[in-house]
């Protein structure tokens, strides 16, 4: 896509359905059309942007085997939804998308949910160096609930009425975030060892993460006693900043996205929204067009 920004760039690049099809074909089949049924087969071009696999006799097009397969909506609708969805820092609601495309809210919701399904692959990074880890809890505040919907004893780290999310953020790098069943050490430690390289420096809020000191250098703050962090320079001249400010800022952005754009997210679909957040965070230095191409290339 061109270097121009915004929706005008989109309309210039994709003025019609044919332009979307050709763009997707170039991403998916850079070295020539390949049959999704038999990669070794010769392929014949047919009318209407369709192809025929010689070995199987089956017909296919560029949408076959992708999120766009069997869709009744034009590919240009999908492209518009993805570009809008990926270019807004806090996403786009299904209500807004339904108005923009002139489709039902249910159809728009299904489109956005399909788009999120392919973002999980970007929430599986390897982290190293200085890594901040923390948990957050997604859900409305109990004090704001109607009296007949208030939940007893749900203060602090209780998640009777909230969804716990565990995150790891490499300073100056990427973030990994997962919905977890609880915040016990035996639940969280495997995520740390899976995603954080050994001998990394891990900054925590003092919560018990099991035996991570055997593999990592752990430095902690303690919000309970009012210790939110400190900085110092080592004898070797290395600057050390003990804090979890960066991942806490990431959580703040996540919550503003959910409560400001989506208002309410069910636990069943929470991980998809977390994947959306991590994808957008991990591509924060990309242009809108670069982010669009990266995502489209992935699903192609």
DSSP string, 208-266: --SSGGGTSEEEE-BGGGTB--EEEE-TT--EEEE--HHHHHHHHHHHHHIIIIIS---
Query: Is pLDDT above 90 for 210?
Result: no
**Distance (Å, whole) CA 207 – CA 259:** 26
3-state secondary structure of 143: helix
Distance between CA 130 and CA 236 in Å, rounded? 17
Distances from the Cα of 177 to the Cαs of 26, 141, 144, 186, in angstroms?
33, 22, 27, 17
pLDDT in tens, 156-193: 555 667 899 999 999 999 999 999 999 998 999 999 99
Judged against a pLDDT cut of 60, whether residue 144 lies above it is answered with: no
**What is the DSSP secondary structure assignment for residue 162, as one 8-state letter?**
S
pLDDT tens digit sequence for 38-95: 999 999 999 999 999 999 999 999 999 998 998 899 999 999 999 999 988 888 999 9
Cα separation, 188 vs 136, in Å, equals 13
How, if at all, do strands 43-45 and 175-179 pair?
unpaired
Name, in order, each residue with C-beta under 8 angstroms of 186's C-beta and a sequence gap of 6 or more.
210
Other Cβ atoms less than 10 A from the Cβ of 195: the count is 20
For residue 99, how many other CB atoms are within 10 A of its CB? 12
19-50: burial string, b at 16+ Cβ within 10 Å, e else: ebbebbbeebeeeebbbbeeeebebeeeeeee
Of residues 163 and 5, more confidence is placed in 163
Q: What is the pTM of this model?
A: 0.83
């Amino acid at each position: 896509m061109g270097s121009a920004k915004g929706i005008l760039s989109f309309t210039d690049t994709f003025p019609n359905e044919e332009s979307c099809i050709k763009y997707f074909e170039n991403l998916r089949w850079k070295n020539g059309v390949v049959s999704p049924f038999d990669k070794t087969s010769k392929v014949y071009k047919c009318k209407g942007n369709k192809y025929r696999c010689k070995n199987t006799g089956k017909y296919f097009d560029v949408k076959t085997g992708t999120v766009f397969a069997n869709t009744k909506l034009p590919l240009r609708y999908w492209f518009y939804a993805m570009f809008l969805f990926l270019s807004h820092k806090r996403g786009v609601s299904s209500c807004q998308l339904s108005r923009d495309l002139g489709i039902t809210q249910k159809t728009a919701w299904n489109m956005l949910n399909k788009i999120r399904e392919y973002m999980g692959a970007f929430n599986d990074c390897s982290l190293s160096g200085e890594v901040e880890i923390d948990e957050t809890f997604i859900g409305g505040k109990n004090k704001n609930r109607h009296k007949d919907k208030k939940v007893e004893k749900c203060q602090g780290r209780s998640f009777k009425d909230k969804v716990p999310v565990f995150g790891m953020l490499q300073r100056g790098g990427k973030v990994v975030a997962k919905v977890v069943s609880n915040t016990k050490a035996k639940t969280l430690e495997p995520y740390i060892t899976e995603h954080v390289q050994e001998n990394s420096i891990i900054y925590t809020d003092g919560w018990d993460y099991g035996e991570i000191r055997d593999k990592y250098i752990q430095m902690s703050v303690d919000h309970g006693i009012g210790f939110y962090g400190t900085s110092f320079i080592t004898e070797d001249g290395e600057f050390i900043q003990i804090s979890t400010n960066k991942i806490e800022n990431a959580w703040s952005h996540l919550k503003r996205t959910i409560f400001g754009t989506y208002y309410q997210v069910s636990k069943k679909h929470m991980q998809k929204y977390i994947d959306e957040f991590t994808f957008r965070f991990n591509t924060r230095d990309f242009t809108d067009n670069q982010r669009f191409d990266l995502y489209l290339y992935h699903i192609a």
